[in-house]
Structure 1
Amino acid sequence: MTADGLPSFGHSPTAVAPARGRRLLDRALARPSLPAFAGLAVVLVFFGVQAPGLLTTGGLASVLDSAALLGIGGVAVALLLVSGQFDLSIGMVAVGGALVTGLLIGELGWGTWPALLTSLAAALAVGVVNGWLVVRTGLPSFLVTLATFLVLQGAGLAGVRALTGSGRIEGLSSAPGWSSATAVFGSTVQVGDGRFRIALVWWLVLTLGATWVLWRTRFGNAVFAVGGARRAARELGVPDGWTTIVLYCCTASAGWLIGTLGLVRIGGVQASAGLGTAVDFVVVAVIGGCLLTGGYGSAIGAAVGALLHAVARQGVVLAGWDARWFEAFLGVLLLVALLANGVVRGRLRAVPRS
């Protein structure tokens, strides 16, 4: 009998507690971003010992500046990965958007804001084309966006050299509206020996906004549905085509923002390839808990993955190691993330829904 006079039926509180504890553990392990948080804690402790300068305000500012630019792209790519798609053109969209802005200002004498809006429209057009091709042709998004990357790289870099005689555009800071653009995209705050840039604010706002959209809106439900079971989602009336196109517009916009932040920061742009950066965006999204098969992931996880990436990169530099060790370290992180994500997904399937 229990204390209130009811029959116990042979169960004791100690028998219930382990089952409840296992359920809590299963739900914790089902969080897509959990491996990234765990990895970040380990990397922070490790490099905090190897390079104490990492924990100063100057070191923190360097880490957050690197993580912000990577995180902006990583969050957008994470949403696309959740839907089961790739985008390898985002790095070149960043370079191309900055080149368009620079050419309009430097060669045609446009004001800063008209040039920025025009380059944004061009970036969105690339996103629409990518999404439309993926939806209409059924071709793998990896190949479609790789083709887009090659077209943008060849046309953009060759075009700039033909128009300017070099691969660099400089001297843009005297254009009308540049000071207001600097306030929006280039502001800094000095704290101690560290300079914190406004890119950090953009990163935080976009991460929180993407998280809200993914988990609290019908569009977010459509993203998960399309990534988890595209055919079933289509049969249930989910607009998978429009969802895909909107997501590609989001990655294109993120690329434009990254390019604009860099353009305003240095007052110019260097024509260069952007495939390596695009791969980094995918890496931080996967480290953050996104599965390459779609239907699983989070924006918060991608943001933490970007922070982990930046801590490792800056830690290697401040510790005085050969910079090539970072690539090996990143490869290990990616492999561990892939293995951990497989385990977490298995836990997720085993957790009962309530």
Structure 2
Amino acid sequence: MSIPATEVTTGSATDTVTPRTRQGLDKLLHRPELASVIGAVGVFVLFMVVAPSFRSFDSFATVLYTASTLGIVALAVGLLMIADEFDLSTGVAVTSTALAASIMNYQWHLQSWVGSLLSLLVALAIGFFNGWMVTRTGVPSFLITLATFLMLQGLNLALTKRIVNEVATPSIADMQGYEVCRKIFAGHLEIFGVDLKVTVLWWILFVVIGHVVLFKTKFGNWIFAVGGSPEASRAVGVPVARVKIILFMIVAASCWFVGQHNLFEFDSIQAGQGVGNEFLYIICAVVGGCAMTGGKGTAIGTAIGAVIYGMTNQGIVYAGWNPDWLKFFLGGVLLLAVLSNNSFSKFTEARK
């Protein structure tokens, strides 16, 4: 009598555990950031082996700082890419918002936080312009934001030269409110003896918020729906144009935040800086699992992509390699990420 009972119990346990295990494995394989996690582990192991100075906590803090200044904008760019749009104006927009805050503070003798808030309005106007133009004209966002990139680049140089007679803004360190703004945007704190920039904490907070918005809110569902099929989304009542405009404004706001960090970290802004960073933000998002065709991606994935860049950027220095190889290495990482993401997508589709 005991033998059949044992057989029934064993069979029942097997029937219960196996489907759950398979279900958990399927969920893991369908995660967009899976390939980036594997890549991050590989890059980490590589530099742990070849760069002894990479192994210290101070080095990790530097990596996280580098990742945070890219990751904040990459997060917003990733959300926009999930909605199947691009923004090529981000690199110069970071500089534009910093220049706006610095020049307004200096010319109008404002408190630092007032100039920062006014520059936030400038940033939101840039984002609204990009989103409105894309949704009203139907012209691809690649072209609209490329035009914005060129216009902002010209404005940054022309207006800075016209107003301050130089290509760099004057110091605003002696103005009221500067130290408070510096603590908010460019402060640091010591954790277990390691000096950590406050941008790292802001970045983590923004990633958590982005993750919650994407997977726990109606707006997050709208983002995925818009990226998957705008026509079908409109048919079920999703405000496609509004979603896209809001996302462009979020991207611009993230540029403003990093711009304020640059301003209060270095006290002066060069009018020509920032060009080329727009590609780094996109690289971080793509490496993190955001699809170029929209409808796929995560906030956590963009963070992993930024960490990969941070490790690569600093690891090459710590390893004593020629920094000229950085762009080559980044290109290789991007290519591997795209190929890996495609392979994982095909594999998971075959398992359905």
Cα 1:343/1:56, change in 2 over 3 Å = same
Contact 1:59/1:194 (<8 A) preserved: no
Q: What number of residue pairs does the alignment pair up?
A: 350
Query: What residue number does 1:3 align with?
Result: 4
Identity fraction in percent:
36
Which is helix-richer, 1 or 2? 2
What is the aligned partner in structure 2 of residue 84 from structure 1? 84
Question: Is there any run of 5+ residues in structure 2 with no aligned partner, and where?
Answer: none
Range moving further from structure 2, 40-49 or 323-332: 323-332
Normalized against structure 1, the TM-score is what? Answer: 0.93
Give the RMSD, CA atoms, in angstroms: 2.3
Deviation for aligned residue 1:350: 4.7
Render the CA deviation track for 1:134-186: whole Å, top value 9, x for unaligned: 10111110110010010001012111011111111132111111121122112
Q: Which runs of 5+ in 1 are unaligned?
A: none
- Give the whole-Å Cα distance in 2 for the aligned partners of 1:136 and 1:126: 15
Residue 5 of structure 1: how far off its partner (Å): 9.9
Query: Does residue 279 of structure 1 match 2:279?
Result: yes
The Cα offsets for residues 234-255 of structure 1, whole Å up to 9 and x where unpaired, read as 1111110000000000000000
8 Å CA contact 1:88–1:275 kept in 2: the answer is no
**1:37 aligned partner:** 37
> Residues 43 and 312 of structure 1 are in contact (CA less than 8 Å); yes or no, is this contact kept in structure 2?
yes
Matching of residues 69-108 of structure 1 within 5 Å = 69-108=69-108
1:56 corresponding residue in structure 2: 56
CA contact (8 A) 1:73 1:254 kept: yes
Deviations 1:262-294 (A, max 9, x none): 101111211114331010000000000000000
Structure 2 counterparts to residues 232-271 of structure 1, below 5 A:
232-271=232-271
One-letter code of the match for 1:340?
A: S
Aligned to 1:110: 110
Q: Is residue 2:337 matched to residue 1:337?
A: yes
Seen in structure 2, the aligned counterparts of structure 1 residues 17 and 122 have a Cα distance that, compared at 3 Å, is same
Q: 1: CA distance between counterparts of 2:295 and 2:4?
A: 47
Q: Which amino acid aligns with 1:275?
A: V
Question: How far apart are 1:18 and its partner, in Å?
Answer: 7.1
Match of 2:209 in 1: 209
The 8 Å contact of residues 60 and 194 in structure 1, kept in 2 or not, is answered as no
Alignment check: 8 A CA contact 2:222 2:243 kept:
yes
TM-score, L = length of structure 2:
0.93
Separation in structure 2 between the aligned mates of residue 299 and residue 317 of structure 1, nearest angstrom:
28
Corresponding residue number in structure 1 for 2:124: 124
Asked if 1:68 is matched to 2:68, the reply is yes
- The alpha carbon displacement at 1:107 in A equals 2.2
| SS of aligned partner of 2:295 | coil
Q: Find out whether 1:141 has 2:141 as its counterpart.
A: yes
Alignment of 1:301-320 (within 5 A): 301-320=301-320
Query: How far off is 1:190 after superposition?
Result: 3.7
Shift of 1:57: 2.2
2:307, 2:259 → 1: CA distance? 19
For residue 296 of structure 1, give the secondary structure of its aligned residue in structure 2.
coil
AA aligned to 1:176 is Q
1:94-119 deviation line (CA, Å, top 9, x unaligned):
10000001101122211111111110
Please state whether the residue corresponding to 2:196 is helix, strand or coil. Answer: strand
Distance 1:16 1:344 in 2: 27
